[in-house]
Amino acid sequence: MGEVVYDRREVKHSRYAVAVVFAVHGAVTGSFATRVPWIQDHASVSAGQLGLALAFPAIGASVAMPLAGSVSHRFGARRALRGLIALWTLALVLPALAPNLLTLCMALFVYGATAGMADVAMNALGVEIENRLDKSIMSGLHGMWSAGALVGSAAGTVAAHLGSDARLHHALAAVALTLIGVAACQWVLDLRPTEDEEPPPRFALPPRSALLIGAIGFCAVFAEGASLDWSAVYLRDVLDSSAGVAAASTTGFTLTMAIARFAGDSVVDRFGPVRTVRVSGALATLGALLVVLAQNAAAAMAGFALLGLGIAVVVPLCFAAAGRSGPNPSQAIAGVATITYTSGLIAPSAIGAVADATSLVTSFVLVTVLTLGLASFANVLRASGRTAGGKVSPADAPVPDRRP
């Protein structure tokens, strides 16, 4: 049994490699999202049927994510991530090939399952690298995901504008992204279990710590989903704004989220995750209140921008905390990921249901309450073991890697 200790240069190279994988993951999501109208027409499904089909990625992810830990244990972190990111990028081609509702649901189930497993694997590696560097990197990694999603969306928008067949577009994108993702995995840390280490269960419920941390992530992702899908509608229907101004509110929200994620690591290193989330929650709550009380488009746009700024770093910090909350990081990360995926799935429809029963303004009162929960329950993130100054407490300090 040998012991392998990675030097700081190798760990830094691994950080950049995982950042590329995050960007590739985001690019697949962006590429798919822009071609949903083409996929709907090709499969000949109604709006209601499309809504049903779009629930299947979250279902597939929720089923498959708990399996990611056993895959990493069996094959090692590098081979597992290489295989899972390749499966995810190649799964991009499936939805565009579906000729009807049944095959579309099946394709989206596989698409979501591979997405979720790759998500868990790359976040688990991100936490391991963060431990070894002894400074926050998770916010920046999720910023790379956002950047990749923007690039994928931009390419998809151009393809849609040119009227290209989504089957060809997604085949080309899948090949390119697979090559990039697989190549990047060459430089990630090849973490392996010790010979006598017990394998994680093939399927297990998330630990209690992951449920508590996931509740914070649920609040943040609910606010994100509500803002992304409903901000433009809010400005148009509630404040009678033009289509251009309404669309700009969504752009402002997305932009502040991306900026905050890239800047977030230095903030976390200085103030620690608990104080960061408390302040972030306060900013998000202020933003949500501005939206609810806005009498004009400028105030509402400022509110959505503050919402994006406030919730941007919360989910990366939840993954980081989950990875340090118990003896099985992949299991805890899978639990948090499942909860956040579920939140992203139900948020848009929940906002719509409340709006139908009352008003869209009332829907964002619900968002305000949830963002207030971020500041109120930020202490849960003490499970990360990271304090102000970016230091990890002795109980959570990184240990050398062992492999045969």
Quick: pLDDT tens for 203-226: 556 667 778 899 999 999 999 988
pLDDT tens sequence across 115-139: 999 999 999 899 889 988 988 999 9
User: What is the phi/psi pair of residue 386, to 5°?
Assistant: -100, 135
- Residue 205's pLDDT is what? 60
Per-residue confidence band for 202, with pLDDT thresholds at 50, 70 and 90: low
- 194 vs 360, residue with greater confidence: 360
Band (pLDDT 50/70/90 cuts) for residue 356 is confident
Which CATH code for domain 6-190? 1.20.1250.20
Query: Is the pLDDT score of 194 beyond 80?
Result: no
What does the block give as tokens for 285? 């709550």
Mean pLDDT for the chain overall:
86
- Could you tell me the two tokens for 15? 């950080």
Q: What integer is the mean pLDDT of 47-61?
A: 84
Average pLDDT on 316-340 reads 83
Average of per-residue pLDDT across 277-290:
95
Q: Which residues contact 191 (CB under 8 A, 6 or more apart)?
A: 72, 76, 77, 78, 125, 128, 401, 403
Q: 369 pLDDT band (50/70/90 cuts)?
A: very high
Among 97-111, 274-288, 386-400, where is mean pLDDT lowest? 386-400
Give phi and psi for 194, each to the nearest 5.
Answer: -70, 160
CA-to-CA distance for 54 and 37, rounded, in angstroms? Answer: 12
The lowest-confidence range among 58-72, 78-92, 271-285, 367-381 is: 58-72
pLDDT at 201: 58
Give the dihedral sign, CA 247/253/354/48: positive
Check whether 8 has a pLDDT greater than 50. Answer: yes
> What residue spans in the chain does CATH classification 1.20.1250.20 cover?
6-190, 208-381
Backbone angles phi, psi at 92, to 5 degrees: -55, -30
39, pLDDT greater than 70: yes
- 18: number of CA atoms within 13 Å, CB side? 32
pLDDT > 90: percent of the chain: 48
Confidence grade of residue 394 (pLDDT, cut at 50, 70, 90): very low
385: left (phi over 0), alpha (psi -120 to 50) or beta: left
Q: How many residues does the chain have?
A: 404
CATH fold, domain 208-381, is: Growth Hormone; Chain: A; (1.20.1250)
Q: How confident is the model at residue 397 (pLDDT cuts 50, 70, 90)?
A: very low
Q: Does the structure show a pLDDT above 50 at 401?
A: no
Give yes or no for a contact between 101 and 43, defined as CB atoms under 8 angstroms apart.
Answer: yes
How confident is the model at residue 101, as a pLDDT?
Answer: 95
pLDDT of 66 above 90 = no
Rg (CA), the chain: 21
pLDDT at 386: 52
SS3 164: coil
pLDDT in tens, 238-248: 999 888 788 78
Higher pLDDT, 6 or 154: 154
Q: What percent of the chain has pLDDT over 70?
A: 89
pLDDT value at residue 328: 72
pLDDT band for position 322 (cuts 50, 70, 90): confident
